[in-house]
């Protein structure tokens, strides 16, 4: 193996080396965690050792509570994210391509995307109640305006020469939008959806903060009241694993949908 090539910017490395380095990172993290807990450097009620987190997961699987929490959180995350994406992607493409649309949407988008979602929870409770609709609304608001501005930036970077060339070849305005503009935006849109899906997972605990009786965020908050750090860590690890799984699914969809575009 050529070490100079491996350490060079933007050079591909062998798949086996990627897997080995990732495995080494995981083992190092586990070793540090074990050293802190089994070595007595940190009290168990502040940081549960690995075997207690594993036992908490096995108990949750045996009782069925863990799968129930996972299902509830997935329903909230996927519903809110899908609803935000279905609206934000076409609006973002139009916003980045048509100045009249940008003039209408940019002020409210620039205002809303800086607001902390947690500050809107009291209003959401008044408007939609304390059911699953409120939780989906938190995920929606946490991702929609971010998607809108990111997708509009992707659309704005599409070359105007490409649009002019399409008109020269006889394309109508509708054909330019659907057959030229949208395919040109697709790689950037997929990348941004993958990024904002990660943001959606970070809003999960906030979404399940009020009047929840299931979900991973509820499980973490409930365990926090009793200082059950094994259950807290279990919830954190499950969220991380589910986030990693959705990230890999987005990578696979991107490779399948647009194989001609290099992934970042």
pLDDT at residue 118, as a whole number: 81
Full-model pTM: 0.86
User: pLDDT tens, 73-101?
Assistant: 999 999 999 999 999 999 999 898 888 98
Q: How confident is the model at residue 208 (pLDDT cuts 50, 70, 90)?
A: confident
pLDDT at residue 114, as a whole number: 84
The percentage of the chain sitting over the pLDDT mark of 90, rounded to a whole number, equals 36
Is 264 within a domain?
no
* Interval 171-190 mean pLDDT: 84
Q: Which residue has the higher pLDDT, 152 or 45?
A: 152
CB-based contacts of 135: which residues, under 8 Å, 6+ apart? Answer: 76, 80, 207, 208, 212, 215
Is 8 within a domain?
no
Tell the residue number behind the tokens 């902390």, with chain if given.
116
State the Cα–Cα distance between residues 116 and 137, nearest whole angstrom: 13
pLDDT at residue 176, as a whole number: 82
Q: What is the residue range of 107's domain? A: 47-257
Q: Which residue has the higher pLDDT, 173 or 61?
A: 61
Is 156 within a domain?
yes
Is 253 within a domain?
yes
* Interval 4-19 mean pLDDT: 74
Is 177 within a domain?
yes
* CA-based nearest residue to 88, from 109, 73, 107, 104: 109
CB-based contacts of 43: which residues, under 8 Å, 6+ apart? Answer: none
CB-based contacts of 261: which residues, under 8 Å, 6+ apart? Answer: 186, 187, 254
Q: What is the mean pLDDT of the chain?
A: 87
* Interval 9-36 mean pLDDT: 84
> For the chain, what is the domain count?
1
Q: Per residue, what are the HEC states of 37-99?
A: HHCCCCCCCCCCCHHHHHHHHHHHHHHCHHHHHHHHHHHHHHHHHHHHHHHHHHHHHHHHHCH
Is 17 within a domain?
no
* Interval 36-58 mean pLDDT: 90
Is 28 within a domain?
no
Residue 181 pLDDT greater than 60, yes or no = yes
* CA-based nearest residue to 60, from 232, 231, 247: 231
Is 32 within a domain?
no
Residue 263 pLDDT greater than 70, yes or no = no
Residue 264 pLDDT greater than 70, yes or no = no
Residue 21 pLDDT greater than 60, yes or no = yes
Alpha helix segments (H runs only) across the chain: 3-6, 15-38, 50-63, 65-97, 99-112, 121-128, 132-156, 160-168, 173-175, 182-202, 204-207, 216-225, 229-257
Task: List the CATH number of the domain containing 142.
Answer: 1.10.3720.10
């Amino acid at each position: 193996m050529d070490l100079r090539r491996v350490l060079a910017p933007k050079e591909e490395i062998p798949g086996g080396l990627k897997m080995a380095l990732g495995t080494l990172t995981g083992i190092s993290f586990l070793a540090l965690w074990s050293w802190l807990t089994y070595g007595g450097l940190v009290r168990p009620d502040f940081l549960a050792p690995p075997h207690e987190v594993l036992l908490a997961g096995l108990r949750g699987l045996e009782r069925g509570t863990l799968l129930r929490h996972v299902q509830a959180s997935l329903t909230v995350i996927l519903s809110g994210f899908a609803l935000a994406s279905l609206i934000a992607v076409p609006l973002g493409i139009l916003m980045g391509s048509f100045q009249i649309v940008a003039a209408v949407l940019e002020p409210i988008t620039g205002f809303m995307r800086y607001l902390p979602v947690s500050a809107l929870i009291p209003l959401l409770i008044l408007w939609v109640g304390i059911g699953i609709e409120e939780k989906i609304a938190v995920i929606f608001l946490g991702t929609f305006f971010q998607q809108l501005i990111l997708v509009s930036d992707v659309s704005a970077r599409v070359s105007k020469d490409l649009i002019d060339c399409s008109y020269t070849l006889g394309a109508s305005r509708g054909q330019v939008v659907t057959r030229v503009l949208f395919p040109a935006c697709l790689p950037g849109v997929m990348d941004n959806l993958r990024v904002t899906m990660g943001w959606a997972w970070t809003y999960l605990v906030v979404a399940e903060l009020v009047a929840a009786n299931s979900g991973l965020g509820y499980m973490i908050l409930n365990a926090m009241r009793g200082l059950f750090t094994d259950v807290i860590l279990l919830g954190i690890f499950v969220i991380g694993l589910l986030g990693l799984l959705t990230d890999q699914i987005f990578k696979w969809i991107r490779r399948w949908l647009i194989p001609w575009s290099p992934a970042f």
